[in-house]
A and B are shown apart, each in its own frame.
Chain A
């Protein structure tokens, strides 16, 4: 190796600190690059997603009565919502990994807004969710799902899922920050199993035991699934829902706003001070 010398004089230093947008975009670019260049991540998440979709569609589906509509039309909107949750849980592990490997220390020692850095991260993770969301929707259509509503309603459904994904990403980021290491973060992410399954995502809530129904009916995943399903089917009644589409969409947006209002400040505070 040639002798190493370093001459700080050849570096032109910055005249002022990076702005919030630059900081967020720079950090987001890293998350996207990391995802795109780690093909196994893409493959694993797509294959797992497809596998569960096929199992529900063809194995369990025949035993589940969803009234006037075929099970595949009932299940796919619910499934897409939960798949966003499962993909989003990766954010928790990757945040924890950055803490564990000192990457977070590097970022926190730089003269940039820590809030911007974290926001950039969340935006990038949400962008990646959009990719996964598209893949799952395509598979859903391939196995026979057909939206019954208008094209605009279907697009609104996808948009709503992204809003929801954005809100939940803050929860996962906080989980990763609290966990501090990948294993603990993965353990905490298991929380999404009861959340996903004790909901209207895969089965009508009416088939659950009486004591479980109030929980299942009012938890955020169900609220979200009901809204997405109402949009996708074009008529809430087809999904056995009593209210209007507007009602379910409004309620789910309220949940999303609530989640961000609570978890974003907590995550930012944790990131700034821990």
Chain B
């Protein structure tokens, strides 16, 4: 049996009166991407910062690649790479200078650092921009450079703290591609995110954290199954029809339907997916209603979170970023990643 890449037992950490970690347990095996998912203030960042030896937990045990992080933090730093919530790069230097600087700090010789920087820049698609000052980079390029800087030391474990927060959908997709490529090459990844679809897209294992504790843990599919029911989702053509559609669906489902005014979307959890789907189509047809879209899908992680905690994922944090998370999730589910929308 291989040593877990991260092994946390009963981690606690308080900042004044705020308890960021309240007995967090997490064991991550090598060879996979683990996503720590939760609302703002759930303790995700404190956890990652503990693994990165930037925060010392008040109590509990933390091992990274088998090394006790409290006793041998310097040894832990040799096996990790960190890319934080901000692109930690120097805008006055070129991309190449930035990556080379970090390579030197990882202990690489001058020539070695330059060669490795070139490899990283090339593989992250930054070769052309490598000799331009980072100040001229787009937000997405800066994040990729930041990722490159954390990779240039060939870390065994890459820590990504909300790697795509604030990026536009295209840059997010590019960064996702980069992360996937890295995992394929064998680097272990621990990432935090408040984007449900991000965890779904990238991770083989999702750990849901709330109030400093792990509240659920499993593969994306397991978590969705645990939340139980499939969902029938219908988008009415006219906003005036939403109430009628909801009423028609209400007779078929096991809970009250949810409606979303802005998108004319009506969703309802159901027990026997396919049969209900057929019933729904017949009911709508009988009423002569126009619909833009109808589908049967697995519950989203947002719905999973709702089931597990009794509150929606965006209730925990500040309003702005919560809204951003939901919007982004919606966009991706609807356009770039239709697979999440399709019935299992």
Chain A residues engaging chain B, CB cutoff 8 angstroms:
1-18, 22-23, 26-27, 29-30, 33-34, 37-38, 101-103, 105-112, 273
Contact = CB atoms under 8 A, between A and B. Distances in A.
Interface in B169-215: 174, 177-178, 181-182, 184-187
Contacts of A110: 77, 102, 105-106, 153
A103 B93 CA distance: 13
Interface string B48-75: 0100111010000000000000000010
Interface in B86-135: 86-90, 92-93, 97, 101-102, 104-109, 112, 115-116, 119-120, 123-125, 133
Contacts of B313: none
B292 to A, nearest CB: 31
A7 B154 CA distance: 9
B53 A109 contact: yes
The 10 tightest CB contacts between A and B, nearest first, are A14-B107, A102-B86, A106-B88, A5-B181, A109-B82, A111-B77, A6-B182, A102-B88, A18-B107, A4-B178
Given A23-B105, A30-B93, A111-B107, A105 B151 contact: no
Contacts of A107: 105
A273 B102 CA distance: 21
B85 interface: yes
Given A5-B123, A8-B186, A15 B107 contact: yes
A44 B226 CA distance: 61
B154 A111 contact: no
User: Which of A7, A8, A13, A109 has the largest count of B CB atoms less than 10 A from its CB?
Assistant: A109
A8 B112 contact: no
Given A8-B154, A18-B106, A111-B77, A37 B133 contact: yes
Contacts of B119: 10-11
Contacts of A7: 123, 185
The size class of the interface chain B forms with chain A is 35 or more
B125 A4 contact: yes
B152 interface: yes
A2 B125 contact: yes
Nearest to B119: A10
B80 A112 contact: no
B162 to A, nearest CB: 11
B51 to A, nearest CB: 10
B116 A12 contact: yes
Contacts of B101: 26, 29-30
A4 B181 contact: yes
Contacts of A16: 107
Contacts of B146: 106
B149 interface: yes
A106 B149 contact: yes
Nearest to A9: B185
A136 B311 CA distance: 62
A106 B154 CA distance: 15
A26 B77 contact: no
A6 B124 contact: yes
Contacts of B85: 102
Contacts of B82: 105-106, 109
A242 B46 CA distance: 58
B220 interface: no
Contacts of A14: 106-109, 112, 153
B253 to A, nearest CB: 42
Contact of B54 (A15, A101, A109): A109
Contacts of B92: 33-34, 37-38
B104 A22 contact: yes
Nearest to B86: A102
A112 B73 CA distance: 11
